[in-house]
Structure 1
């Protein structure tokens, strides 16, 4: 499977995982804290919807290697900020009010960028949504993780609809053979993650997230594009 064909396949797997993860989190974590970030979440949803719908159109023309390098650098930057904030909590975060119209506007702008990146890379976008909710809107790690699931469902669904219109979705055979097994296996993996999010200290979650982002950036930088 080519890298471009893998993008919509990854989105299908991501959608299955997101729906399962949200259901699991709803049983282990309270969703009441999301109400305090309603405007920010709605803004990120709307922005990611627009970004995810527009981004697939440029996939065929984009320099894959150049985009991967930019993405890796962004991941490393966000990881560094999260780890620094975990060790030095005095670092100011949450400069945008998540319950204001300004927070809605900031959410739309950032969501459009994140939604575009997610649709181009075939990922759910949590690598950027969670740090954005923590660093920009001041959410704790558990709340940010739950909110990112809801936002990502919107973005991933929009991306899949766009790829469907472009006739780039995987075949039914590929969905049964690849997407469904991977998706259900990923859902099983969300159970220990949800338990950890409910019980681990916020600082620990930030350090874990930072380590995951560094690993993702390293994998992206080391990725060798397929040769035709």
Structure 2
């Protein structure tokens, strides 16, 4: 049974990593329903495991992207990173704390609703070819960045994801960032945001799920990294007019199953 579970964990990690890689994301939003439905983890335990896996994937993605977007270009955009972090760090702490206080039944409903939100964002706000000037400037932009960062931090903590599916559209639409740069900036914002959420979760007794499932975590994280690489290589082979609605449909079905979970 342990060997079969390990094989399933790797295959699921590789599969969702490939889906995420096809659109330049880590795939954590697709991984979470499997942790709940297939592997039968309780809602909070699944979120914590998803968060730990996402941390591994994000750390591995940073050097991979350096060949396309040099660290110097990312560092030059430090005001944007700081602006979003001012909200996302607080949002991550709040979201993780909220998750630990919710009943499992309520957390399942919240997760399902957020998966639906991600599906909507994928269809209507994910446009790699888009470029636009910043929506605001001056103080208004700073305030908008903090508010957006806080909301993204909450969602990222509640789902255990890096938040790139929300950060990239925010960076493009709100700050007018080039989409390639936005992908790297999202990682720079995601990593400290996830560490804050992870630290908050470590204070809850459910955090022991990591210690009990170390091998499982390493296997599904390894599969996710492999899948992200495969998806990145396949990027562009499937038209986005087909891919994004398909992925959104998968999230909607996953949301329905999570909503029904008891």
TM-score (norm 1): 0.78
Which position in structure 2 is the counterpart of 1:143? 181
Relative to structure 1, is the Cα distance of residues 36 and 219 closer, same or farther in structure 2, using a 3 angstrom cutoff? farther
Counterpart Cα distance in 2 of 1:123 and 1:206:
24
- Contact 2:48–2:198 (Cα < 8 Å) also in 1: yes
Aligned equivalent of 1:23, options 43, 63, 66: 63
- Contact 2:49–2:209 (Cα < 8 Å) also in 1: no
Which position in structure 2 is the counterpart of 1:94? 134
Alignment RMSD: 3.1
Confirm whether residue 45 of structure 1 aligns to residue 45 of structure 2: no
Which position in structure 2 is the counterpart of 1:181? 219
Q: 1:170 Cα shift?
A: 3.3
Aligned equivalent of 1:127, options 147, 161, 165: 165
- Contact 1:82–1:206 (Cα < 8 Å) also in 2: no
Q: 1:192 Cα shift?
A: 4.4
Structure 1 alignment gaps of length 5 or more: none
Describe how 1:57-206 pairs up with structure 2 within 5 A.
57-59=97-99, 60-61=101-102, 63-82=106-125, 94-97=134-137, 100-171=138-209, 173-192=211-230
Counterpart Cα distance in 2 of 1:112 and 1:93:
22
Comparing 128-137 with 57-66, greater Cα deviation is found at: 57-66
Which position in structure 1 is the counterpart of 2:255? 220
Counterpart Cα distance in 2 of 1:206 and 1:105:
34
- Contact 1:14–1:123 (Cα < 8 Å) also in 2: yes
Which position in structure 2 is the counterpart of 1:8? 48
TM-score (norm 2): 0.69
Counterpart Cα distance in 1 of 2:144 and 2:87:
9
Counterpart Cα distance in 2 of 1:28 and 1:195:
14
Q: 1:161 Cα shift?
A: 0.5
Q: 1:210 Cα shift?
A: 6.8
Counterpart Cα distance in 2 of 1:146 and 1:108:
19
Residue correspondences, number? 217
- Contact 2:153–2:193 (Cα < 8 Å) also in 1: yes
Q: 1:173 Cα shift?
A: 4.3
Q: 1:19 Cα shift?
A: 0.2
- Contact 1:79–1:211 (Cα < 8 Å) also in 2: no
Q: 1:106 Cα shift?
A: 1.9
Relative to structure 1, is the Cα distance of residues 175 and 49 closer, same or farther in structure 2, using a 3 angstrom cutoff? farther
Query: What SS does the aligned partner of 2:208 have?
Result: coil
1:45-84 CA distances to partner (integer Å, 9 max, x unpaired)?
221111111122222326234423432442243233336x
- Contact 2:108–2:261 (Cα < 8 Å) also in 1: no
